[in-house]
């Protein structure tokens, strides 16, 4: 199928193509990923997601904000003198946009074609990706991210990591960069960058770059994990439950006892 802005997130597209978010779903919990693919389960859209999408829509331009408004009417006031305005919870998102747009470097990094859909074969399967900003003339692809704080530390496998690793943006940038190279038949990759803006009362912002070694390591992880994921997706292997995620909790049936010391086991 040919991917468009309208069918990009459809179930049909997700069945035909692998994507970074689908890969991360499978890597986290196969049962949840399969339930999402069959339409049996959907994750609720949180405020965080809406703020991120709103900031992205304003930066994108070209009617993206109008689309956001029609798809997310709950974010806008429907009554009183503020009718049609962004609800106060989201008003802060305007400050985040302003913070980016008033900065010459961020503004420049966000220049280029927006929301560019690319597809390509990587490690034996078709992938889809949507680049926030594609600027081959300047040699870069850019993803726009909103974060609670840019310098907040998270714990991951016993290590202190930034929001970039915690949300696996290194994996995303590695796959996007490689897919872009394949889709456009390039010999060299474009430079992957993240333009990040924080949700603090005075928003922080940064242009974040990556090293090639990390990008290679992430691709190797994808290559190693993909065969099992594809077997599950195609129905040749039973999906495993993680017993921790929202979907597993929702469908859980207690089948035995757990020793209290095992509760914090990974
Ligand atoms: Zn699970």
Q: Which pLDDT band holds residue 12 (cuts at 50, 70, 90)?
A: very high
* Residue written as token pair 């889809």: 128
Could you read off the pLDDT of 112-167 as tens digits, one per residue?
A: 999 999 999 999 999 999 999 999 999 999 999 999 999 999 999 889 999 999 99
DSSP secondary structure, 213-244, as one string: HHHHHHHHHHHHHHHHHHHHHTTSSPPPP-SS
Q: What is the pLDDT of residue 266?
A: 57
Task: Output the CA 261–ligand 1 centroid distance in Å.
Answer: 21
Task: Output the CA 33–ligand 1 centroid distance in Å.
Answer: 8
Task: Output the CA 249–ligand 1 centroid distance in Å.
Answer: 7
Give the mean model confidence (pLDDT) for residues 76-100. Answer: 82
Lowest-pLDDT choice from 6-20, 72-86, 163-177: 72-86
Q: Are the beta carbons of 10 and 216 closer than 8 angstroms?
A: no
Task: Output the CA 29–ligand 1 centroid distance in Å.
Answer: 5
Task: Output the CA 47–ligand 1 centroid distance in Å.
Answer: 22
Gap between the Cα atoms of 57 and 67, Å rounded: 8
Q: Which pLDDT band holds residue 220 (cuts at 50, 70, 90)?
A: very high
Task: Output the CA 244–ligand 1 centroid distance in Å.
Answer: 5
Report yes or no on whether pTM surpasses 0.85: yes
Task: Output the CA 220–ligand 1 centroid distance in Å.
Answer: 24
Architecture category of domain 11-251 in CATH: Alpha-Beta Complex (3.90)
Q: Token pair of 176, please?
A: 């996007």
- 124 contacts: CB under 8 Å, gap ≥ 6: 226, 227, 230
CA nearest to 175, candidates 234, 225, 216 = 216
Task: Output the CA 45–ligand 1 centroid distance in Å.
Answer: 18
Give the mean model confidence (pLDDT) for residues 190-205. Answer: 96
Q: Token pair of 174, please?
A: 């590695």
Mean of all residue pLDDT scores within the chain: 93
Pairing relationship of beta strands 191-198 and 140-147 according to DSSP bridges = parallel
Task: Output the CA 32–ligand 1 centroid distance in Å.
Answer: 5
Q: Are the beta carbons of 133 and 114 closer than 8 angstroms?
A: yes
Q: What is the pLDDT of residue 44?
A: 84
Q: What is the pLDDT of residue 24?
A: 97
Could you read off the pLDDT of 41-62 as tens digits, one per residue?
A: 998 877 777 888 888 888 888 8
Task: Output the CA 250–ligand 1 centroid distance in Å.
Answer: 9
Task: Output the CA 80–ligand 1 centroid distance in Å.
Answer: 43
Lowest-pLDDT choice from 1-5, 82-86, 215-219: 82-86
Q: Which pLDDT band holds residue 175 (cuts at 50, 70, 90)?
A: very high
Gap between the Cα atoms of 37 and 118, Å rounded: 21
All structural domains of the chain with their residue ranges: 11-251
Task: Output the CA 252–ligand 1 centroid distance in Å.
Answer: 9
Q: What is the pLDDT of residue 224?
A: 98
Residue 177: CB atoms within 10 Å: 23
Task: Output the CA 238–ligand 1 centroid distance in Å.
Answer: 13
The pLDDT > 70 percentage for the chain reads: 99
Task: Output the CA 26–ligand 1 centroid distance in Å.
Answer: 9
Q: What is the pLDDT of residue 91?
A: 81
187-191-193 Cα angle (round to 5): 155
Looking at per-residue confidence, does 68 or 179 come out higher?
179
Task: Output the CA 257–ligand 1 centroid distance in Å.
Answer: 19
End-to-end Cα separation, the chain, in angstroms: 40
Q: Token pair of 73, please?
A: 């009417």
For the CA atoms of 249, 253, 259, 262, the dihedral, rounded to the nearest 10 degrees, stands at -30
Task: Output the CA 188–ligand 1 centroid distance in Å.
Answer: 38
Task: Output the CA 176–ligand 1 centroid distance in Å.
Answer: 26
Alpha-carbon distances of 30 from 22, 76, 80, 106, 247, rounded to whole Å: 10, 35, 46, 37, 10
Gap between the Cα atoms of 201 and 92, Å rounded: 8
Phi, psi of 107 (to 5 degrees): -60, -45
Q: What is the pLDDT of residue 194?
A: 98
Could you read off the pLDDT of 226-259 as tens digits, one per residue?
A: 999 999 999 999 999 999 999 999 999 999 999 9
Residue 14: CB atoms within 10 Å: 20
Task: Output the CA 232–ligand 1 centroid distance in Å.
Answer: 14
């Amino acid at each position: 199928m040919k991917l468009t802005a309208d069918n990009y997130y459809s179930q049909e597209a997700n069945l035909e193509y692998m994507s970074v978010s689908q890969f991360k779903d499978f890597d986290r919990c196969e049962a949840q990923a399969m339930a999402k693919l069959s339409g049996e389960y959907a994750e609720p859209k949180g405020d965080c997601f809406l703020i991120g999408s709103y900031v992205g829509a304003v930066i994108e331009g070209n009617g993206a904000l109008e689309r956001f408004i029609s798809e997310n009417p709950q974010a806008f006031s429907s009554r009183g003198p503020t009718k049609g305005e962004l609800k106060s919870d989201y008003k802060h998102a305007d400050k985040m946009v302003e913070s980016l747009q008033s900065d010459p470097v961020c503004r420049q990094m966000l220049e280029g074609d927006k929301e560019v859909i690319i597809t390509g074969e990587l490690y034996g399967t078709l992938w889809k990706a949507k680049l926030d900003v594609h600027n081959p003339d300047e040699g870069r692809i850019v993803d726009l991210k909103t974060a609670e704080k840019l310098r907040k530390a998270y714990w991951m496998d016993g290590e202190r990591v930034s929001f970039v690793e915690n949300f696996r943006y290194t994996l995303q940038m590695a796959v996007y960069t490689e897919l872009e190279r394949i889709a456009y038949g390039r010999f060299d990759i474009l430079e992957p960058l993240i333009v990040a803006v924080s949700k603090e009362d005075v928003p922080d912002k940064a242009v974040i770059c990556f090293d090639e070694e990390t990008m290679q390591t992430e691709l190797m992880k994808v290559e190693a994990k993909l065969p099992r994921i594809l077997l599950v997706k195609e129905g040749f292997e039973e999906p495993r439950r993680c017993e921790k995620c929202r979907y597993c909790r929702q469908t859980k049936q207690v089948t035995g006892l757990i020793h209290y010391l095992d509760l914090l086991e990974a």
